[in-house]
Structure 1
């Protein structure tokens, strides 16, 4: 299990593994994409959202110093991973909410195919 507070070392290791085993990875959800979405900057953004509960992207922009378009892109990507949700606010505003306080990555290291005799 990887906690948000202490996973930066694990993510760096995943990036190293990704670069070593790059030819073996396929699919939409690689270790690289997982590491990118949970970068230290994005984890800090989720911490700010959780701790300061901004009422809009404008407020989050003021708190973080990031532009609204940049925040919007990042949060939309995080939402596709079910890490955040954009809830309706006052008027046309949206309010970012963090959905989880930790994530777990299950990453198979070996392809478990059955061999003769029914053993993996």
Structure 2
């Protein structure tokens, strides 16, 4: 059985490292350390789930969400935002742009597992 493909787009190496440690054994994980890098990867691959930071220089997570919405196939990919932005308005805006879910940093393993179970149950 193929392992689900997960794309992590985050400029924070600590956050990326934590997610890689949690996911690396069970999933096929690809990482991008910038929004632009994430968009480049999305042009050549279709992951089953995306973990996306919002606060990144140059191309932020909101811009990545807008990019995803321009492609009818990519717009269907579940996107879980992982961000330090904890205001309800930030969460609502991300969801308005197409995010499926929102987790605030610091990352809690239980929260990540809950999202994996929710969005990859049918994979």
TMscore range, shorter length = 0.3 to 0.5
Question: With CA pairs under 8 Å and 6+ residues apart, which has the higher RCO, 1 or 2?
Answer: 1
Q: TM-score, normalised by structure 1?
A: 0.32
More helix by share: 1
Question: Which of the pair has more CA radius of gyration?
Answer: 1
Q: TM-score, normalised by structure 2?
A: 0.32
